[in-house]
A = this chain, B = another copy of it.
């Protein structure tokens, strides 16, 4: 299979119609025509084999993850995903593998109204880069720097599952089969909280997605907003079955790869946030409070302070 056949058959042929896309895949660049009154949000994520995924991963799972981690960035801004470019390095072009990868990629893209408008293909070690673009009304995007003292701290979905599955892969723990199945699903098929994020545009102050670990990612909000927070670790949503493992706090607070949203909002928005959670079919949990004292204080349900050995993931530590 040749590079250009691949591009023609699997990418060009599957472009949707989007009236803002003046020119899609197949030229030196794609052309989009922005809509007046909207801001464009841009984010890039690179995933490497052996680092972000096992290279024997199923192509459908890999495609899902490559796109979901980028959709999650749009969710964290409250942006509506619109366009993406995909750069791919693969050791070879196996047609069955490519077909499964593309089927999964376009299924997720279509579900979000996202159009692939360009990219690059090359032979090499497993590497995937997506640049995603989305839209919000001007000035409404959810930033990290907007948390206010007195805000509630919320988190979506459940934390720590992906990391627990990794620990099982590494033979550091052995999860029960049904628990492993749930954790592995969370690891392989993260659900970007796009609908929740869009709904939060007018409700939340600050937001961020949890990719490197809850504590570290919340800290980004705190630093950018020059505030602090107290978070109740026992209130952090996870699988109850994980709490029997001594590592559970580590997984939940610092595991990473969750792709949930952590966000802050005034207490007056609680009812609206719960209604949004129901509308967007996304669980949300109140886990703490923004404080004037800077720094992140983790406490347990008894009020004791919790100390983590690692706060999150640094790619070069």
Q: Is the CB of A41 within 8 A of B30?
A: yes
With known contacts A29-B73, A144-B27, A46–B129 Cβ distance under 8 A: yes
A9-38 CB mask vs B (1 if < 8 Å, else 0) is: 000000000000011001111111110101
Q: Give me the interface of A with B, judged by CB distance under 8 Å.
A: 1-4, 6, 22-23, 26-34, 36, 38-46, 48, 50-52, 73-74, 76-77, 79, 83, 85-89, 92-93, 117-125, 127, 129, 131-134, 136, 138-139, 141, 143-145, 207-209, 224, 314-317
Q: Is the CB of B315 within 8 A of A46?
A: no
Query: A27 vs B74: C-alpha distance in the bound complex, in angstroms?
Result: 11
Instruction: Find chain B residues with CB under 8 A from A125 CB.
Output: 48, 125, 127
Most chain B beta-carbon neighbours within 10 Å: one of A28, A33, A52, A92: A28
Question: Residue on B with the closest CB to A45?
Answer: B120
Instruction: Find chain B residues with CB under 8 A from A122 CB.
Output: 46, 48, 51-52, 315
Instruction: Find chain B residues with CB under 8 A from A133 CB.
Output: 42
Q: Is the CB of B30 within 8 A of A120?
A: no
Instruction: Find chain B residues with CB under 8 A from A43 CB.
Output: 28-30, 85, 118
Q: Is the CB of B34 within 8 A of A89?
A: no
- Distance (whole angstroms) from the CB of A13 to the closest CB of chain B: 15
Most chain B beta-carbon neighbours within 10 Å: one of A44, A45, A139, A141: A44
Q: Is the CB of B29 within 8 A of A118?
A: no
Instruction: Find chain B residues with CB under 8 A from A143 CB.
Output: 23, 27
Q: Is the CB of A123 within 8 A of B6?
A: no
Q: Is the CB of A89 within 8 A of B48?
A: yes
Q: List 21 A-B contacts (CB under 8 A).
A: A3-B315, A3-B316, A4-B314, A6-B316, A22-B39, A28-B207, A29-B43, A29-B134, A30-B42, A36-B36, A40-B40, A42-B118, A42-B131, A43-B118, A46-B88, A46-B127, A48-B122, A50-B124, A125-B127, A127-B129, A131-B131
With known contacts A43-B118, A120-B44, A31–B314 Cβ distance under 8 A: no
Query: A122 vs B2: C-alpha distance in the bound complex, in angstroms?
Result: 30
